[in-house]
Structure 1
């Protein structure tokens, strides 16, 4: 009975209020400059938690972004090469529609999660990560949990459910899930990962690339999530990585005047500059 009530609650989908429009569907007029400045996670989630999990090699620390205080838990697992922040826009929308709690997790070797063995991306290991994190987070009072996984996250969700790592599992939703193990999913992504730029001159530059390359179609999502996909580092302008950075090679949709202004802003850099590199 309780499980059915939770399912009914999750199925509630009131219409979107008037005036809301997905950023990915907004058409930009000629010459209109789009905003690629980063957005803070706090605009979409209520809290950040770092969960420590003991293992044979020491402690692993998993980054969680959370919202809500009542109702069933939606555990969100991102795809390969992305992060928990990829669920930011979804979280804001779903929490405005239904009474639920959201936990978006940076999987191992992604985002701000730090593990002793980031090379171990096997399905079994990543599924165990999920179970251990939920156990530490909720203890013996684990609430009803529904896992929603995208791509690689969907594969991990299936393995987590099959291994019964979450006894209070309420349901499972997989989006664009790949067949096979999580490792198979990562192997199938290698061509895409190799095609990405080695570095960016700014986070804004990374956001712009993600949108114009088609990696992320929703501008708002790109502005909040790209910070979870790249890491900040300092490098000399004479280092090899700089020549491979993306600054001026993006296909512009704006008019020449706006494009020139954008390029001039990106070209203002010292001999010692900050670069943004992909985590994976």
Structure 2
């Protein structure tokens, strides 16, 4: 009774009651697998790229031929958020995916990880590409999500990518983004600051709606968190929300089992970074609340910068309500391609990676910069 009252107080639905003779349902509904997975299930190579100023950026690559999709993640995310998309799009057309941990994120290390200004990060993009390809860069399409979308626009607007042949921005619009900034700190304060294990962090990400695709969350969350010792977490637990397995939002009975096939595939196909040391917990790799002074600079004037870029452009949105006035006019004038992918959250490329891959592949075929694989045919823009 006490457990049910606690659930009612938290706004969560009560657990279903199973009558005698219904135990066989355990064989039908099984608990989801929230165990983390490693990068090499999705990417071919991982490397650290040093720029001419001594900064080092973690880069993941997939594919060997065709144009490069240079992938920039959103604030707080990492290059691993592009894992599933990379596998899908490289199966549709001949292209390469290069995903980067931006400054202050993931496993990149710079002389000033706290400087997340649009100017600094867009300059990083140009320097990384220069370090990777020297004086002979391949055709590049900048693809960015949220903050990364803004940085992609800034890099294109400043002509920092000489071989740029396309620009794709995912779910970021100046008007909507600027309006959302006032509530961003409230959102960040509402997130758990500590997780007992990586599994509980992945479970939270899925059930809170931050990432709606379980498979993507299992690889993406690894890049968003870092391990901290219990000695370091003492004050954090007193001041902030601490998420443990007992706080999980139950969707199946707790005694449901993970399918045996999933456990076997974890062992056979890829490494699994599991925290076996109970003296450690997990917290966010970057404290986004401390980056507030840069937020306005990311998004202010973004629509006009986007529209003024000469390369073919595409905007992928989760809903039409995100389109502001300047972009509405630009879209009506045919200045860019727009695709709506409803029924997903803000992390569009993680929630529906197959659909975003289809859109990107069609964009490349439309502009005749890539060759299809197999019988893939481009789809018409949807808006």
TM-score (norm 1): 0.79
Q: Distance in 1 between matches of 2:158 and 2:183?
A: 24
Q: Distance in 1 between matches of 2:122 and 2:27?
A: 46
Structure 2 residue aligned with 1:245: 242
Structure 2 residue aligned with 1:222: 217
State which drifts further: 74-83 or 247-256: 247-256
Question: Which string of whole-angstrom CA distances, capped at 9 and with x for unpartnered residues, describes residues 132-175 of structure 1?
Answer: 00000000010100011111111001000000000100100001
2:93 aligns with one of 89, 98, 110: 98
2:188 matches 1:193: yes
8 Å contact kept, 1:53–1:133: yes
2:210 matches 1:204: no
Which structure has the bigger radius of gyration?
2
Structure 2 residue aligned with 1:62: 57
2:125 aligns with one of 124, 130, 139: 130
**Greater share of strand:** 1
Question: Which string of whole-angstrom CA distances, capped at 9 and with x for unpartnered residues, describes residues 154-206 of structure 1?
Answer: 100100000000010010000111418x9998776333222211111111111
Assess, with a 3 A threshold, how the Cα gap between structure 1 residues 52 and 235 changes in structure 2: closer, same or farther. same
**Greater share of helix:** 2
Structure 2, gaps ≥5 residues long: 1-25, 258-275, 287-383
Assess, with a 3 A threshold, how the Cα gap between structure 1 residues 186 and 226 changes in structure 2: closer, same or farther. farther
Assess, with a 3 A threshold, how the Cα gap between structure 1 residues 184 and 81 changes in structure 2: closer, same or farther. farther
Assess, with a 3 A threshold, how the Cα gap between structure 1 residues 110 and 184 changes in structure 2: closer, same or farther. farther
Structure 2 residue aligned with 1:161: 156
Q: Distance in 1 between matches of 2:154 and 2:183?
A: 18
Structure 2 residue aligned with 1:77: 72
Question: Which string of whole-angstrom CA distances, capped at 9 and with x for unpartnered residues, describes residues 89-142 of structure 1?
Answer: 000111111101110011111111111112211111110000000000000010
Q: Distance in 2 between matches of 1:69 and 1:104?
A: 14
1:240, CA displacement in angstroms? 3.2
Assess, with a 3 A threshold, how the Cα gap between structure 1 residues 237 and 229 changes in structure 2: closer, same or farther. closer
Assess, with a 3 A threshold, how the Cα gap between structure 1 residues 202 and 139 changes in structure 2: closer, same or farther. same
Assess, with a 3 A threshold, how the Cα gap between structure 1 residues 214 and 277 changes in structure 2: closer, same or farther. same
8 Å contact kept, 2:70–2:141: yes
Structure 2 residue aligned with 1:39: 37
State the aligned residue count. 239
Find the residue that maps to 1:54 and give its secondary structure: coil
8 Å contact kept, 1:152–1:178: no
Q: Distance in 2 between matches of 1:232 and 1:44?
A: 23
TM-score (norm 2): 0.58
Q: Distance in 1 between matches of 2:182 and 2:101?
A: 19
Find the residue that maps to 2:81 and give its secondary structure: helix
Q: Distance in 1 between matches of 2:158 and 2:181?
A: 21
Question: Which string of whole-angstrom CA distances, capped at 9 and with x for unpartnered residues, describes residues 212-270 of structure 1?
Answer: 111000000000110000001211498233464211212110125349xxxxxxxxx98
8 Å contact kept, 1:122–1:183: no
Q: Distance in 2 between matches of 1:237 and 1:167?
A: 45
Assess, with a 3 A threshold, how the Cα gap between structure 1 residues 213 and 95 changes in structure 2: closer, same or farther. same
Structure 2 residue aligned with 1:274: 280
8 Å contact kept, 2:200–2:248: no
Assess, with a 3 A threshold, how the Cα gap between structure 1 residues 65 and 230 changes in structure 2: closer, same or farther. same
